Amino acid sequence: MENNLNLYYIFYTVALHKNISGAAKELYISQPAISKAISKLEQSLDVILFHRSSRGVTLTMEGELLFTQVQTAFSAIRHGEEQLKKVNELGISQISIGVSITLCKYVLLPYLQQFVKDNPHIKVTITCHPTMETLRDIDNSVTDIGVVGIPSLPNGLTYIPFREIQDTFVTTDRYLENLKIRVGNDRKAILNNATFMMLNKENISRKYVDMYLSSHQITMDNIIEINTMDLLIELAKIDLGIACVIKDFVKDELDDHSLTEMSLGRAIPKRKLGLVYKDDTIMTDAMKKFISYFMES
């Protein structure tokens, strides 16, 4: 744009008032200054914008053409200002969250329920996929923040732990009783003959448990891989085998004795869940509020 926006606004105001004196009062500048601004705009565009007379001014054909466009432009600017004011008043914003299906159900949803209730004008987008994909999306600025459980992170990411979880093995009393009838009470025989149900090898939880098993020289001969923890829990409840799950996620089943813990010796060490985002992320109000819900719990 070759001309200062101020010149166009002066032109616009004069056209609305159809006289220079009225425009001068609205803009709080002198009539000579307005006349000079109009002349400058006409010279730069190489057209005459107004017919001038003792009764005021009227737009020329070229002036009408320019006025139509300028009116649309200033109307859009006013609309934008009104929208921004509304955004500020209502706290309108958005946040995108990456999380695994399991953590979404058992960890994120309870926090999110209160967050949405308290912040109804923040648009929340949730992408459920494996943790490594969440980290990739955060690194590529596709996702604002992730809820993850991982012992180490790539460089360039900020990690805020907010909760501990513990992996464990669960089954039914009936499955264990039947297994012991077949193989006896020997721990090694149980490990060699039991059906163990675990998440697939690419899963972060599975990798963590595999490290624990390897460090304690525990081997399992019969492993069924399942894609979701919910399915692991349900399959364990129907006596299909011994499932590796997160203890907090089967609290109800342990309390009502529909499932029971099975010790493999030493307890699996607890690990942390946390929020993760890029180091260079510009923290929006929505992100700050979201993080605060986890820190205050």
Which three-class secondary structure string do you get for the chain? CCCCHHHHHHHHHHHHHCCHHHHHHHHCCCHHHHHHHHHHHHHHHCCCCEEEECCEEEECHHHHHHHHHHHHHHHHHHHHHHHHHHHHHHCCEEEEEEECHHHHHHHHHHHHHHHHHHCCCEEEEEEECCHHHHHHHHHCCCCCEEEECCCCCCCCEEEEEEEEECEEEEECHHHHHHHHHHHCCCHHHHHHHCCEEEECCCCHHHHHHHHHHHHCCCCCCCEEEECCHHHHHHHHHCCCCEEEEEHHHHHHHHHCCCCEECCCCCCCCCEEEEEEEECCCCCCHHHHHHHHHHHCC
Strand partners, 52: 57
The strand pairing partners of 168, in sequence order, are 245
How do the pLDDT tens digits run along the chain, 297 residues long? 555 889 999 999 999 999 999 999 999 999 999 999 999 999 999 999 999 998 889 999 999 999 999 999 999 998 888 777 776 665 668 899 999 999 999 999 989 999 999 988 888 999 998 888 999 999 998 999 999 987 677 788 999 999 999 999 999 999 999 999 999 888 888 888 999 999 999 888 999 999 999 998 988 889 999 999 999 999 999 999 999 999 999 999 999 999 999 988 888 999 999 999 999 888 888 899 999 988 876
CA-nearest of 59, 22, 18, 21 to 41 is 59
Q: What is the pLDDT of residue 212?
A: 92
Q: What is the pLDDT of residue 89?
A: 63
Cβ-proximal residues to 287 (8 Å cutoff; 6+ apart), any chain: 95, 144, 145, 277, 281
**Separation of CA 44 from chain center:** 49
249-281 as b/e: b if 16+ CB within 10 A: bbeebeeeeebbebebeeebeebebbbbbbeee
143, 98 Cβ separation under 8 angstroms: yes
Model pLDDT, residue 297: 63
Domains of the chain with CATH codes? 5-89 (1.10.10.10), 91-163+272-295 (3.40.190.10), 167-269 (3.40.190.10)
**Cα-Cα end-to-end distance for the chain:** 53
Q: Give the count of beta carbons closer than 10 Å to the beta carbon of residue 231.
A: 13
Record the pTM: 0.68
- CA atoms within a 13 Å half-sphere pointing along the CA-CB vector of 287: 17
